[in-house]
A and B are shown apart, each in its own frame.
Chain A
Amino acid sequence: MSTELGLENRNSFTYKWQKKIKEIKESRVSYLFLAPFGLIFFAFVVFPVIMSIGLSFTSYNMLESPVWIGIDNYTRLFLADDVFLIAVKNTFVFAVITGPFSYILSLLLAWMINEFRPKIRSIFTLLFYAPFISGNAFFVWTIFFSGDAYGYLNAFLMDWNIINEPILWLQEPQWILPVVIFVVLWMSFGTAFLVFIAGLQNIDSKLYEAGAIDGIKNRWQELWFITLPSMRPQLMFGAIMAITQSFAASAQAIALAGFPSVDYAARTVVTHLIDYGTVRFEMGYAATIATVLFLTMVITQRVVQNLLNKVGE
């Protein structure tokens, strides 16, 4: 009895595999089409992530081959690296402020823009999206936040007698992070913002007609009861973009506050990673930081996804 069953199982197992192999053979063309993107994607996106996880358990300086050291990098990172703790704190403050803020502002502005006619809509879209797409326009802010009395912000504040002597915006630890957050928010209306605008335009107008009949009184109720629930897929996409952007922003911090910044005031997990990866060449340690960063992003995304699934319930 038991051997019969085993045989049968084995048969069905091999049968399954034969079926699978047949399917794979039949989809030759599909694989051929996917190959150019797929191979490069694996080589330069997926494989590096796996490699990063592997390297995080080693000591590696790019010259000698990696040496397996187990979880030493992780214990050093969490228990012995003071600067990492500062970086984590900064990243956390930074992500908690810029992530939700830019997400909610993008959504709110997209919704406001959508209330207007197409011409006005496209002008506003351009104005809000321009800082993001310009790529390096944040350099402008270095002139505004320049630390001497000739820096524009200092000049204005002193002119109006709000301050007596110039503030070193980008050298005094207590100001660096707020300034960087401010500039990052300024250029955070990116892909998610466009996705929201597009999502709003695609909502079926019949839903609004039905809503009006069902007793929805004004546009604010319309927003909460109809618009947001029908945009859930776009909200999800926007959340992923916001999380990645808020955890990964580093170019602005480096351009504004220098590298390393005074007292590590603008040190984030990413600048910490850049430091160990490109300055100190401790690749294993840098890979550990990268792995921790990546896991944090994935976990955050899971949490946010669960929250968003509750919208409109």
Chain B
Amino acid sequence: MKLSIRKKRVSRSAGGDFFLFVVLALGAAFMALPLIFMINHAFKPLNEIFLFPPQFFVRNPTFNNFSDLFILMSESWVPFTRYFSNSLVIVIFGTGGHVLAASMGAYVVSKHDFPGKKSFSTIVLLALMFAPQVTAIPNYIILSRIGWINTLYSMIIPAWAFPLGFYLMSKFMSQIPDTLLEAAKIDGATEFSTFWKIVMPFVKPAWLTLMILSFQQLWINTGGRFIYTEAIKPLPAALFQIAAAGVARQGVFAAVQLILAAVPILLFVFNQSKIVETMGTSGID
């Protein structure tokens, strides 16, 4: 099927294909080498980390850096599991709330007609340009007035209103055939059950995309300005504190980087096709 379509298209010269492949391979190698280095670095024993001239690949891989990290964490008075569960709570509730709130809102914006809908969409589009730093100070003031500074709410609730997720979701939902929704209504479904039983299953690829995007932001967030109590800090804050203790901790620092980077990358690997499918519907006319 694919082949027959290709045949009707302009012919591709083998030389051109080869040229493109070489360019891409070089580019990809450049992109990947620092990451491969990072992986290798995390498994190097101390004598290889400070070896000169430096070695790119690890020769005697060891898990010492990781075990050191866990030993160091177990020595601190807040146990590792506590940091980890803080991060888990932030990521699960932040992401879950975002997917649900954005889906509900995106559903009516893409499928219903109501006064104010146009202006709301315009503001969301404009909000794609709000750099987080622009809103950081007022956000702090607002959160402190509500009394959410130094609570996990300060990280979870604002994450629900991530405009990029809402935008992608509403673009994806506008693909749902109207006849499908009308049929459900004729069968006597309420608005909520239409949303829950027809719309949500239909946009499954888009949820995964929103989850990844939201996860990516929350996972590496140290909570810096908002959380001061050690016992409710998320994992990255603890990891960076441990790794920051100078040159002797370089191996541990590499392990920290690897742990933090690996999770979102692996999530992307398993959901790539779904994410690309969602992105395909986005675009601004």
Tell me the smallest distance from the CB of B30 to a CB of chain A, in Å.
8
Residues from chain A with a CB closer than 8 A to the CB of B32 are 127, 130
Interface bits B243-285 vs A (CB < 8 Å: 1, else 0): 0000000000100010011001100110011011111111111
Q: Does A52 contact B (CB under 8 A)?
A: yes
Provide the bound-state CA to CA distance between A45 and B160, in Å.
11
Q: A29-B108, A155-B54, A273-B134 are in contact. List 10 more A-B contacts (CB 8 A).
A: A40-B158, A41-B163, A62-B141, A109-B27, A140-B257, A194-B275, A199-B283, A212-B10, A290-B134, A298-B126
Residues from chain A with a CB closer than 8 A to the CB of B225 are 278
On whether A297 and B276 interact (CB within 8 A), knowing A137-B34, A186-B31, the answer reads no
- A-B pair count, CB < 8 Å, reads 283
On whether A283 and B101 interact (CB within 8 A), knowing A128-B31, A136-B220, the answer reads no
Q: Lowest 8 CB-CB distances: which A-B pairs, in order?
A: A233-B283, A27-B114, A37-B105, A198-B280, A48-B138, A248-B131, A134-B261, A48-B135
Tell me the smallest distance from the CB of B206 to a CB of chain A, in Å.
12
Residues from chain A with a CB closer than 8 A to the CB of B136 are 277
Provide the bound-state CA to CA distance between A141 and B280, in Å.
33
Residues from chain A with a CB closer than 8 A to the CB of B275 are 194
Q: Does B83 contact A (CB under 8 A)?
A: no
Tell me the smallest distance from the CB of B168 to a CB of chain A, in Å.
9
Tell me the smallest distance from the CB of B5 to a CB of chain A, in Å.
5
Within 8 A of B (CB), among A17-37: 20, 23-24, 27, 29-31, 33-34, 36-37
Residues from chain B with a CB closer than 8 A to the CB of A134 are 35, 260-261, 264-265
Residues from chain B with a CB closer than 8 A to the CB of A137 are 34-35, 38, 257, 261
Q: A residues touching B (Cβ–Cβ < 8 Å)? A: 20, 23-24, 27, 29-31, 33-34, 36-38, 40-41, 43-49, 51-52, 55, 62, 109, 112-113, 115-116, 122, 124-131, 133-137, 139-141, 143-144, 150, 152, 155, 159, 186, 189, 191, 194-195, 197-199, 201-202, 205, 208-209, 211-212, 216-219, 221-222, 231-234, 236-237, 240-241, 243-244, 247-248, 250, 270, 273-274, 277-278, 283, 286-287, 290-291, 293-294, 297-298, 301
Assess the A33–B104 pair: CB atoms within 8 A: yes
Assess the B8–A209 pair: CB atoms within 8 A: yes
On whether A152 and B54 interact (CB within 8 A), knowing A47-B138, A48-B135, A134-B264, the answer reads yes
Tell me the smallest distance from the CB of A275 to a CB of chain B, in Å.
11
Assess the A131–B35 pair: CB atoms within 8 A: yes
Q: Which of B112, B120, B139, B272 contacts A27 (CB 8 A)?
A: B112
**CB nearest neighbor in B for A115:** B20
Residues from chain A with a CB closer than 8 A to the CB of B9 are 205, 208-209, 212, 222
Provide the bound-state CA to CA distance between A101 and B54, in Å.
31
Q: Does B157 contact A (CB under 8 A)?
A: yes
Assess the B115–A23 pair: CB atoms within 8 A: yes
Assess the B10–A126 pair: CB atoms within 8 A: no
Interface magnitude class on chain B: 35 or more
Provide the bound-state CA to CA distance between A152 and B109, in Å.
52
Residues from chain B with a CB closer than 8 A to the CB of A291 are 134
Provide the bound-state CA to CA distance between A124 and B276, in Å.
13
Interface bits B30-66 vs A (CB < 8 Å: 1, else 0): 1110110110010000000000111000000000000
Residues from chain B with a CB closer than 8 A to the CB of A241 are 128
A-B residue pairs in contact (CB < 8 Å), sample of 22: A29-B112, A37-B160, A40-B161, A41-B127, A41-B166, A44-B135, A46-B127, A52-B137, A113-B24, A116-B21, A126-B265, A127-B28, A134-B35, A136-B220, A186-B30, A191-B164, A233-B283, A236-B284, A240-B129, A248-B132, A270-B131, A287-B138
Assess the A198–B276 pair: CB atoms within 8 A: yes
Tell me the smallest distance from the CB of A91 to a CB of chain B, in Å.
12
Assess the A126–B129 pair: CB atoms within 8 A: no
Q: Which of B101, B137, B257, B280 contacts A199 (CB 8 A)?
A: B280
Provide the bound-state CA to CA distance between A33 and B37, in Å.
47
Interface bits B130-160 vs A (CB < 8 Å: 1, else 0): 1111111111011000000000000001101
Assess the A222–B10 pair: CB atoms within 8 A: yes
Provide the bound-state CA to CA distance between A199 and B27, in Å.
21
Tell me the smallest distance from the CB of B110 to a CB of chain A, in Å.
11
Residues from chain A with a CB closer than 8 A to the CB of B279 are 191, 194-195, 197-199
Q: Which of B161, B265, B284 contacts A41 (CB 8 A)?
A: B161
**CB nearest neighbor in B for A27:** B114
On whether A277 and B101 interact (CB within 8 A), knowing A36-B160, A212-B8, A244-B131, the answer reads no
**CB nearest neighbor in B for A294:** B134
From A30, A189, A191, A294, name the one whose CB has the most chain B CB atoms within 10 angstroms: A30
Q: Does B75 contact A (CB under 8 A)?
A: no
**CB nearest neighbor in B for A193:** B279
Q: Does B180 contact A (CB under 8 A)?
A: no
Q: Does B191 contact A (CB under 8 A)?
A: yes
Tell me the smallest distance from the CB of A191 to a CB of chain B, in Å.
7
Tell me the smallest distance from the CB of A80 to a CB of chain B, in Å.
21
Residues from chain B with a CB closer than 8 A to the CB of A277 are 136-137
**CB nearest neighbor in B for A207:** B9
